[in-house]
Chain A
Amino acid sequence: MPSLEQPANLACGQVYWRSLDQLADTAEFREFVLKTYPASMSELLDGAIDRRKFLTLMAASLSLAGLTGCRRPSIKILPYAKKQENVIAGLPTYYATALPRPNGSVPILVETHEGRPTKIEGHPNHPLTQGAADAWAQASVLDLYDPDRSRTVVFGGLPSTIETLVDLLATKSKSLAATGGEGFRILAEPSDAPSILLLQSHLKRTLPHASWHTYTPIDNANAVEAGSRAFGTPVKPQYKFHDASVVVAVDCDFLGAGDGDIAQIRGFAKARSTEAMNRLYVVEPHFTLTGAMADHRLRLPASSAHGYLFALAKSLGVMGTEQSTWTPPGDLKWIDEVAADLLSKPGQSLVVVGHRQPVAVHALAYSINAKLGNIGKTVAFSPTENSEPAGSIQSLADDLKAGKVTTLVILGGNPAYDAPADLGLGELIGKAETVIRLGLHVDETSELAKWHVPQAHPLESWGDCRASDGSLLAIQPQIEPLFDGMTAIELVARISGYKTHSAYEVVREAFKSFTANDDFETAWRRFLHDGFLEGSGTKPQEVTLSPTPLVLPDPLPPLSAQNLELVYQRDSSLDDGRFANNGWMQECPDPVTKLVWDNAAALSPKTADAMGIKDGDMLKLTLNGRSVEIAALRMPGQAEFTVAVPLGYGRKVTGRVGRHVGFDAYPLRTSRSPGFATGLTIAKTGKTHKLVRTQDHHTMEGRDIVREVSLEDLVGKAEEWSKHRSEIEERGALYPQPEFTGEHQWGMAIDLNSCIGCNACMVACQAENNIPIVGKDEVALGREMHWIRNDRYFSGEEDDPGMVHQPVACVQCENAPCEVVCPVNATVHSLDGLNLQVYNRCVGTRYCANNCPYKVRRFNFFNYNERPLDQLRLGPFAEKGMPETLQMQKNPDVTVRIRGVMEKCTYCVQRVERAKIGVKVAAADSVPGKIPDGTITPACAQTCPAQAIVFGDISDPKSRVSQLKANQRDYALLGELNTKPRTTYGARLKNPNPKMSQPGGHA
């Protein structure tokens, strides 16, 4: 991991792919075009201009102006004249950096090819990620290359130049300094980055009347606030799931998008291994990935969570809960037995509450954990980082309303879209005299701002941030800004008149507080090299429960068809809406509903039936006089009279991918009830909407697909299990088997007991293997291209089912049905057991896909890579060519497939081959040895937060994969077909409380 320390000119010698843009982007040229052809410049602004059109325009402009003559600019592609340090042509280079997030940033490792970042991996050395990354981190690289990113400064709806903006910032900075920052406000996403804190304190010092406000629609503020309230000091909880034997999650999706975190997932997976199997109770309003892993799951509206927890606390004997009269619907065991189970594991249990729940519920959970002796064991509290308390969005709205704001700077976020509806921020933003908006895209907020400034992507920026464990992470550019973006640091530094405007210098300045002065350079270089500062994580703090009285749950009127509960969901694909223009995320199915390119209001089947609602019916949701229209979806496992709506959809102003996809629920969401609200009414509008899912059938039809076994049965009936396994003995085949004479025999083991179904593998595979997106209409036809998919099945009752996940990619059958039927030998076996697909040889009979029992083969029905998704059916009349920036994302080691060709997973054969070549090169003239176990990880295995996928050499009995395959839980999916798959699965374990009934019954 060499550091990348060239702040002045980062990409020297590596700029050939964008020389056209560069030529176009010179300031003189921009000004010239702007003055001469303002109309054409606005095309540039939309990003709608294609290269050819641009060249025509440019050529015309140049010749008219009589500048450098009338020749087309020549483009030269040259090899490196001098060898770049650490760059070996054809081999990727890896740099450590980080992706900032409002709720804990992600340390990552970026794979770059000749200066192009192509793939993101979790940081292998950081304790939080250990090489894993989630789907959002994987998809971030596509955001970098999004051709719809804003490309130019916009002033009053018309294109402007960065120079004009810099002049404005200089002027503003002077005038603000004169008034002490009177009327100056900054609205940013919450950040505990030292550089931002540095600028904040600078701002406070030099511009005392200015103020800094933060807002992000989904955060853990309630947990932090409850920490302050319960312990009298600002602390936030850090959960250690790997130490917890009994976990009770109350409306807390700690494994999924809701409250998930890579470290939590890994910790939970560890605590769920055969040796130390934990038990998970989940109480939640709608099905989540956490609920899917539960041993016992209770459907309960979010508004009843407080009541449930209070009753549980009473049963546990927590002080101040004596008055509770709440009883759960149906099963009293949900209080008494859970309490007994918790009490049986003092110090090894954990009660967690999700971000949606109000402060009082979090505080109650802290009291329970304190009572159970968990504090300091399964949950630790650490001080929050913010030294400069920031204002809220409410106080900003008040200031705007009062006309106190003259200059407003909005850094990132998208408050005009996602701010609480009751603030009316949309109208208020215009009240400020000057509004400067820094954003990746021209979005809803940019529309309201006088100035829009293109933001540099984190992969193009200098910066710093903190991970959720508080450790300091470095953000360093992997590529020169593609569209001349500016960083938030630079913008704030300029307008606040900081001594330097360079983000690099500001970050260095901020880093000084972490190191002794004399060895600063060494520490700094090490920081950049490592990507994080060792030992900078926050230390747990001793806390004692302050004797504040617990808040009693409000007596709520019972929910009914006229008084429904609305639950806002953090979307697993789009987060709060920030990934709306990311095609990978739009096409990544929701792990629970399997919806793509849409969101929907989920209702329980019973509630939907009672109200006569079918899938796809358009509903009018009305809450406190505000209403939105949204399509309905029946979801098993949902609490009655509860409507769950994912946020982040229905974007009106964004790029071509995300515009008008799904329905916007923010107009219902107010600052009083940002998590859930009751009093919702719904009415059918009579219209319908086409909802598209990647999976239309949801039960296993009694087939042996996902095996589930209780811990008791696994131990008690071990013999039966081994018999079950040996039932599929060696059977003959019609044709001779391929020769497996290779030195390695590759295989994979997927542990369904660890897999939580988070989809990170799907997006990682998409990034690694150049898999195109196909659009909603094509997915509706079943033509999605994902090489690895996440099958999701329900079991048991429709109202209260169990849910299981199973990632399925090509299982590399030794006896592959696809190979026999291909007439042109386009799919063949390698000597080391890979079922290869030769794209160049494929003529597209599709017989292999028909004959594949796992249905993992994907066919290019159209030229998905070359034609715009809305013009697929126009054939030769459609526009041709992939946007240049998207071409830059492609992995050069993997062929981009043409239409008419079949494709599928090959265990990332490019990585396998690279490792083999590496071993051969290292061996030089001697005989190359075996590739050590663990050297090769396919993209899916590498990113898996639960470490559920293990790849390796099955001919080596000591390899991890061999050991997993020797486990008695190991089984071959559809093994009875004699396909002899190299990928096998580990049966899922359940650890039910014998005194309670299970969700979904026995699968």
Chain B
Amino acid sequence: MSEIHVPARPGGRVALVQGGQTFGSLTNLVSGITEASTPKWWWPAFLTSLTVLSVGVGMAAYLISTGIGVWGLNSPVGWAFDITNFVFWIGIGHAGTLISAILFLFRQKWRTSINRFAEAMTLFAVACAGIYPLIHLGRVWLMWWLFPAPNANAIYPNFRSPLMWDVAAVSTYAIVSLLFWYVGLIPDLATLRDRAAPGLRQRIYGFFALGWRGAARHWQHYEMAYLLLAGIATPLVISVHTIVSMDFATSILPGWHATIFPPYFVAGAVFSGFAMVLTLMVPSRVIFGLENIVTTRHLENICKILLATGLMVGYAYSTEFFIAWYGGNPYERFTFMNRAFGPYGWAYWVMVTCNVLSPQIFWFKKARTTPWIMFVISIFVNIGMWFERFVIIVTSLHRDFLPSSWGMFVPTWVDIFEFIGTFGLFFTLFLIFVRFVPIVALSEVKAVLSDQNHEMQHVERAAS
């Protein structure tokens, strides 16, 4: 059954696992990435990331020791790069759980080869995002006041504040995502343990494999746990960005105060998350030789999602403008005119070009199946989604109700290097991940492979 590329099933879909893989070859392929000697490119890449990360740490140290003033924030622009970057990273951290949980519940099997990867990305993005709400506080050393911790003053946090909801939503999301990822990893960690020679490596993987033996009882519990976690994680996918959007939507600021925000933000988050998956996946599958597991069909599916969510955010942009006009609120009208044609108009048009126009190329199959095109578009979308948050936050704040208080925001070098530093954190974690953890969910792909083989047998039988 080698070299079968004929449509395997009605509907013209190609097989999810290609290249005549067997269980054994899959295991070798995926485990081999962590077992082989460190690739030559890894150390330079890791050290570069670590250096960039340390720049970010340095910026944060400077910020915390000196004051928020080292950023370009001011009055009226009380939030700028801090919350822009927070929402940007949280948005990226959306794809993982969506792929793992929602697509799992919808029995989208194609998810299996990319879910591990995407979940890892989610965790790292949430880690990057989590930095900002902390360090952007004027007095970060008192951040524990945001938690409902018992204290001598008997003062509780203000549960009316969306920032409180945010603290709860993001930390819940981070914890559930981590658990979900880890639970999914257990069988694969056991595989690595079993393949390792006795020694430290075996003991470490053994520790994290939690004594997994692959017994039927284990599988039964595992499947149930995974299903339950998927069930728990699914509403979180929607809730976390809904809550993030409420940081804005519950305010009275024109440009923030909009009921469209929750779905608009969720769509945007899925959009940006999938874009980032694509950005990372396209080069990784070549570097690690995973073309047969993460196939063109996978990438094409992601492109389709990008196209769909891109249209959704485009729709949201136009709805915002329509409502600003139709609602007749002069402040809101002004805000949107200012957004498109004011001093930050260029940022708005960067956003529209990247988010709405650039994904339109995915109407063409050629674009959806050509990795370099999708890589370029994914970068555009990443840029566009960063600008979306920048546009929402900064252009709404910089000119609000009283023209006397209007101002401008210009980022300082600390703003910029802090942002770059978060990429250092992201890639440092990511490089550790690809080196030590199976980057494809082996056990799940094997299940897909076995289904596929069954189907193939049916097809062959039918043909003969």
Interface readout for A776-819 with B: 1 if CB under 8 Å, 0 if not? 00100111100001011100000000000010100000000100
Residues of B within 8 A of A782 (CB): 74-77, 407
Q: Which of A842, A876, A974 interacts with B401 by CB under 8 Å?
A: A974
In this assembly, does A705 line the interface, its C-beta being within 8 Å of a C-beta of chain B?
A: yes
Q: Report whether B252 and A808 are in contact in the complex, using a CB–CB cutoff of 8 Å.
A: no
Assembly CA distance A556 to B68 (angstroms): 57
Q: Which residues of A contact B331 (CB under 8 A)?
A: 703
B420 within 8 A of A: no
B77's nearest neighbour on chain A, judged by CB, is A782
Which residues of A are in contact with B by a Cβ distance under 8 Å? 695-703, 705, 735, 778, 781-784, 789, 791-793, 806, 808, 817, 820-825, 841-847, 849-851, 853-855, 857-863, 872-876, 898-902, 974, 977
Q: Are A859 and B75 in contact (CB under 8 A)?
A: yes
Please determine whether B76 and A900 come into contact, CB atoms closer than 8 angstroms. Answer: no
| Contacting pair B163 A854 (CB below 8 A) | no
B120 to chain A, nearest CB (A): 30
Given A825-B155, A843-B145, A847-B247, 18 new contacts (CB under 8 A): A695-B404, A695-B405, A703-B330, A783-B75, A791-B405, A808-B402, A817-B251, A823-B146, A824-B145, A824-B157, A843-B139, A851-B252, A855-B401, A862-B69, A863-B67, A872-B69, A875-B66, A899-B138
Task: Let me know if B404 and A850 touch, CB within 8 A.
Answer: no
Q: Are B162 and A821 in contact (CB under 8 A)?
A: yes
B247 — nearest CB in chain A belongs to which residue? A847
Asked whether B402 lies within 8 Å of A705 as measured between CB atoms, the reply is yes
List the B side residues contacting A845 at CB < 8 Å: 136-138, 163
Q: Does B259 contact A (CB under 8 A)?
A: no
Chain B 151-174: CB-based contact to A (< 8 A → 1; otherwise 0): 000011110111110010000000
User: Are A846's CB and B138's CB within 8 A?
Assistant: yes
Q: Could you give 28 example pairs across A and B, Cβ below 8 Å?
A: A697-B404, A701-B334, A701-B403, A705-B403, A783-B74, A784-B75, A808-B402, A808-B404, A817-B252, A821-B160, A823-B146, A823-B163, A841-B155, A842-B139, A843-B146, A846-B79, A846-B138, A849-B75, A850-B251, A851-B253, A853-B252, A854-B402, A854-B405, A855-B405, A872-B69, A875-B65, A900-B137, A901-B138
A850 to B330, CA, bound (A): 19
Q: Which residues of B contact A860 (CB under 8 A)?
A: 67, 138
Contact, CB under 8 Å: A843 / B78: no
Alpha-carbon distance A851/B401, docked complex (angstroms)? 11
Q: Is the CB of A873 within 8 A of B70?
A: yes
**A697:B138 contact, CB within 8 angstroms:** no
Whole-angstrom CA separation of A18 from B227 in the bound complex: 73
Docked complex Cα distance between A158 and B334 (Å): 63
Which residue from A841, A855, A875 sits with its C-beta under 8 Å from B402?
A855
The proximity string for B residues 116-156 relative to A, scoring 1 for CB distances below 8 Å and 0 otherwise, is 00000000000000000000111110110110000000011
Q: Which residues from A are CB-within-8-Å of B192?
A: none
* Inter-subunit contact B74/A853 (CB<8 Å): no
CB atoms of B78 and A824 under 8 A apart: no
Choose one: A701, A820, A862; the contact of B66 (CB below 8 Å): A862
Residue interface bits B403-445, CB-to-A below 8 A is 1, else 0 = 1111110000000000000000000000000000000000000
Question: Within the complex, what minimum Cβ distance (angstroms) separates A480 from chain B?
Answer: 37
Contact in complex: B167, A823 (CB < 8 Å): yes
Write the nearest CB–CB distance from B146 to chain A, whole angstroms: 5
Chain B residues bordering chain A, tally (CB within 8 A): 53
Cβ–Cβ contact A824 & B158, under 8 A:
yes
Distance, CA A825 to CA B251, complexed state (A): 16
Contact assessment for B69 and A783 in the assembled complex, using a CB-CB cutoff below 8 Å? yes
A825 neighbours in B (Cβ, 8 Å): 155-158
* Shortest Cβ gap from B329 to chain A (Å): 9
Contact among A700, A778, A789, A824 with B403 in the assembled complex (CB-CB below 8 Å): A700
Check B334 against A900 for contact (C-beta < 8 Å). no
Q: Smallest distance from the beta carbon of B40 to chain A beta carbons, Å?
A: 41
Contacts of B77 in A (CB 8 A): 782
CB within 8 Å for A823 and B401 given contacts A843-B142, A845-B137, A900-B67: no
Q: In this assembly, does B73 line the interface, its C-beta being within 8 Å of a C-beta of chain A?
A: yes
Give bound CA distance, A846 to B77, whole Å: 9
Chain B residues near A806 (CB-CB < 8 A): 404
Among B65, B66, B137, B162, the residue within 8 A (CB) of A843 is: B137
In the assembled complex, how far is the CB of residue A139 from the closest CB belonging to chain B, in whole angstroms?
23
- Cα distance, A872 to B71, chains bound together (Å): 12
B273 within 8 A of A: no
Q: Is residue B397 contacting chain A, with contact meaning CB distance below 8 A?
A: yes
Partner of B68, one of A820, A854, A859: A859
A791 to B334, CA, bound (A): 20
A859 cross-chain contacts in B, Cβ below 8 A: 68, 75, 78, 138
Question: Max chain A CB contacts within 10 Å: which of B142, B146, B162, B397?
Answer: B142
What is the CB-to-nearest-CB distance from A914 to chain B, in angstroms, rounded to a whole number? Answer: 25
Cross-chain contact of A699 among B136, B145, B403 (Cβ < 8 A): B403
By beta carbon, the residue of chain A nearest B161 is A823
Contact present for B75 and A902 (CB under 8 Å): no
A817's nearest neighbour on chain B, judged by CB, is B252
Q: Contacts A821-B162, A844-B137 hold; do A697 and B67 have CB atoms under 8 A apart?
A: no
CB pair B74–A703 under 8 Å, yes or no, is: no
Query: B67 and A872: CB pair below 8 A?
Result: yes
A2 to chain B, nearest CB (A): 41
Cα A355 to Cα B75 with chains together (Å): 39
B207 within 8 Å of A (CB atoms) = no
B161 touches A793 (CB 8 A): no
Tell me the complex Cα distance, A872–B138, Å.
15
A853: which B residues are within 8 A, CB to CB?
252-253, 400-402
Q: Give A702's nearest chain B residue, CB to CB.
A: B330
Residue in contact with A855 in the complex, picked from B156, B167, B334, B400, CB distance below 8 Å = B400
Closest CB in chain B relative to A747 CB, distance in Å: 20
Assess whether B72 is interfacial by the CB under 8 Å rule. Answer: yes
Q: Is the CB of B251 within 8 A of A851?
A: yes
CB distance from A698 to the nearest CB of B (A): 8
Is B161 in contact with A820, judged by CB distance below 8 angstroms? yes
Q: How far is the CA of A844 from the CA of B64 in the complex (A)?
A: 12
In the complex, residue of chain A having the shortest beta-carbon distance to the beta carbon of B160 = A820
How long is the Cα–Cα vector from A287 to B408 in the complex, in angstroms?
27
Cα–Cα distance between A703 and B277 once the two chains are bound (Å): 46
Q: Which parts of B209-255 form the interface with A (CB within 8 Å)?
A: 247, 250-253
Contact among A695, A789, A843 for B143, CB-based, below 8 A: A843
Contact A858 B75 (CB under 8 A): yes
Any chain A CB within 8 A of the CB of B315?
A: no
Expressed in whole angstroms, the Cα–Cα distance for A546 and B190 within the complex equals 115
Instruction: Find out whether the CB atom of A977 lies under 8 angstroms from the CB atom of B252.
Output: yes
List residues of chain A with CB within 8 A of the CB of B143: 843
- B62 interface residue, CB < 8 Å from A? yes
CA separation between A823 and B189, bound complex, in Å? 41
Q: How far is the CA of A899 from the CA of B141 in the complex (A)?
A: 12
Q: Which of A849, A854, A857 has the most CB of B within 10 A?
A: A849
**What CA separation (Å) do A824 and B149 show in the bound complex?**
12
Q: Is the CB of A793 within 8 A of B65?
A: no
CB atoms of B75 and A847 under 8 A apart: no
CB closest chain-B residue, reference A872: B69
Chain A contacts of B250 at CB under 8 A?
A: 820-821
Q: Which residue of A lies closest to B405 (CB)?
A: A855
Smallest Cβ-Cβ distance to A901: which chain B residue: B138
Q: In angstroms, how far is the closest chain B Cβ from the Cβ of A203?
A: 54
Contact A861 B68, beta carbon cutoff 8 Å: yes
B-side contacts of A820, CB under 8 Å: 158, 160-161, 250
When chains A and B are docked, how far (Å) is the Cα of A642 from the Cα of B231? Answer: 75
> Which B residues are in CB contact (< 8 Å) with A821?
160-163, 250-251
- Cβ contact within 8 Å between A791 and B402: yes
Min CB gap B344→A, angstroms: 15
